[in-house]
Structure 1
Amino acid sequence: MEVNSYYEASAKVQKWLREGRGQGIGVEYIPWTKTSDFSSLGRATRLKGTKIPRIYHLQSDIQYRAFLLFEFQNFFDVRESYPLLDVMETIDAKENLRFDKFRDKETNEPYVITTNFLLTLKDSRGKEKYIARTVKNTSELKRKITWEKLEIERRYWSQKNIDWKLITEKELPRQLAKNLEWVRETFFEVEMDKEAFSIELFRELHQNGDQPVSLILKSFDKQKKLDKGSGLFLFRFLIAKKEIQINMYKVIDLSLSFDDLRN
């Protein structure tokens, strides 16, 4: 990534660049800031990805919830804490932007402006498209400095012709995060041939769609001589793989019939 003179005098920036921060794609990407760099105002989280098996560094609860959603969606790559190292050269109209507010008070070195997530989509022909997303709690939007940083981000991505949007906790409810956590865990457990058994469960669910899901799963365990709870695990796995579609924004009520749960 190109770095202009605005940042190149910073010893910290040069050190982090040598470490590979803010560079690479996929499993090779290293976020600009890591959870160990400074204390977070929220709950910092480190977790392994399901699509790309690297450790992701998320600085707050809302970033964690956003990551769970992005990973569940059809994004090819998710890069967190993406640095705008060429920000001064990229933005043309910057006279009224308060870059002076984003400096270390002791050293006067400029802070590197980052965007929470740079997402990559791939179409059927393999062509890539980038999308940038910033996540903030609505309480943060009461601060003028927050809006000043958001405006820098908005202009930066606009000049790069990359779609950028702000997301708040209103688009990332806790129930959605709970459901996404509940299903993604199945990617990391390999106690059974879940690919083969999930195909069989998929068939059972559709053949008995008018029955409560809990009864279908219990019957499946007994029929296949599996340990108790195996059917539920496979049901979660099918959701994680998007083989079955349900509303992830609501509580998943297994007392409902499979047909009703999907509606």
Structure 2
Amino acid sequence: MASGGVTYGITSLLAFDDGWREESFKSLTFQFYRGASTIGLIVRETTQAIWDSLQPVFMPIPTEEMWKGKAQRYQQLWNLPNCIAAIEGNHIRVKNFAYSGSSNFNYKGYSSIVLMASADADSLQQLITSHVGNLLRKQKLNLPEPQHLPGNDDGDPFPFYKCGDEAFPLLPYLMRPYPKRVVNSARRSYNFRLSRGRKSIECAFGILTSKFRIFEGPICCEDETVKKIVQAACVLHNFIRVREGIFLF
């Protein structure tokens, strides 16, 4: 594991405050007299240790009661009943990986990997894993049983769900806007409410980028190292939000 000085340098590579200076792999190499491959190894070990230590506490798989609490928070802050989270993909800019060709080249004109994440009403990141969709389909994410929407006690119970944009399919656990070609007054109101609820994940990505300077430019690492850096940054985002705010799990 890295020594204290190198670990501090890696931390400043990920995060910054007003008094910190921006670090890079190259500057760490010269500052601590370590080879580039050694710095890369230390970064992978440190970011993995951050994830292993913080994920069980600050990004756990919610229980049924925790989901209900998140739904109440969504209703309180965004006036969106039964919603437990917003989901969206975000392009993380990277330097093109070796031998990857154009596989990571996106429609925006640069190389990237896609961070598919969800956030609750307070913009706390949740479940950054590609297996979430399968877990939802198999009903293994402890979602509560459907319940009546406010003011509609005589209607059918409505499932708890995540909200997404037009890129996502309409599913029992995932709500998306109506297409513009079929919008009427009531559907326009629904689209507005759903769009407002999605701001929590947009705010989460904005906070992540503003707090962690490494996301302001392309990340020049191997594929697995980039994934570990992103995981560490996301769980540190939650750690900071919880410690500096009033958010409860």
- Fold-level match, TM-score > 0.5? no
Q: RCO higher in 1 or 2 (8 Å CA, sep ≥ 6)?
A: 2
Q: Over alpha carbons, which structure has the higher Rg?
A: 1
Query: Shorter-chain TM-score category?
Result: under 0.3
Q: TM-score, normalised by structure 1?
A: 0.21
Q: Whose helix fraction is larger, Structure 1's or Structure 2's?
A: 2
- TM (norm. structure 2) is 0.22
